[in-house]
Amino acid sequence: MKIVVGLGNPGRQYEGTRHNVGWMVLDRIAERAGWSGKAKARDAAAVARGRHGDLDLVLVKPTTYMNLSGLAVRKVLARERAPLADMLVVVDDFALPMGRLRLREEGSAGGHNGLRSIIGEMGTQGFARLRVGIGDPGQRAVDHVLSRFGPSERADLELVLDAAADAVEDWAREGTSRAANRWNPWRLGASDVGGPGHGGPVEATDPTLPAPPTLRIPEREGKPDKNGIVRTLTGWRKLLPPGRRDRP
């Protein structure tokens, strides 16, 4: 059983804000697993659990507000009798450009209050975390993280959520190191299937690194149009040419 904790703030006023990207990633995984709307209030969190493909997952969204996230994490780990090695925390990071992913086995809070709370409660920095870039503030950090994604960012956000969800599943299946090697080079932008500003593969500058993956395509609804655009379970996607798609 793998535990995935997505950090965010409860309440309608925080829905869709950059600080809630951790919750959004868990919502994307729940959509794929068919668990949307099935979370139960438990251990100061909204918790959904079950079998997703070949994975046994517990998805945890602390409802304590960001600064007290550690309380929910401590309770969930105690209830599940799970070691820290089986937990991944998904958080937003304004030090990373929009869409960049950083998966690490351990590290400091880096100024993130949710991570600081977890480190304080657990007494260690030794747990995996996936940081999801939300872009440079260009203004007061508090104003930025509590702002919502603009219209021009929403298409990119869908791609980022898919990439982050794939990274979480790879972490659960293969471990932090292999998932990090695969997903830390991924970025929005150049040499992709949708042109500038859309997600897709990038050329590896270091030949020793694995090529960044393309996004997995969920079960489709309908057929692609003449431009290769297809409606999927999580939005509209432009399909990669045959031979360039990852196999689930």
Known catalytic residues are 19
Q: Say how many C-beta atoms besides its own lie within 10 A of residue 14's C-beta.
A: 16
Residues 211 and 174: their CA atoms lie apart, in Å, by 17
In our burial notation (b when 16+ CB lie closer than 10 A, e otherwise), range 164-191 reads: bbbbbbbbbeeebeebbebbbbbbbbee
In our burial notation (b when 16+ CB lie closer than 10 A, e otherwise), range 197-209 reads: bbbbbbeeeeeee
Please check whether residue 11 is in contact with residue 84, taking contact to mean a CB–CB distance below 8 angstroms: no
Residues 112 and 108: their CA atoms lie apart, in Å, by 9
List Cα–Cα distances, 56 to 3, 86, 89, 111, 138, in angstroms: 9, 11, 16, 31, 40
Neighbouring residues of 214: CB distance < 8 A, sequence distance ≥ 6: 193, 200, 201, 240, 244, 245, 246
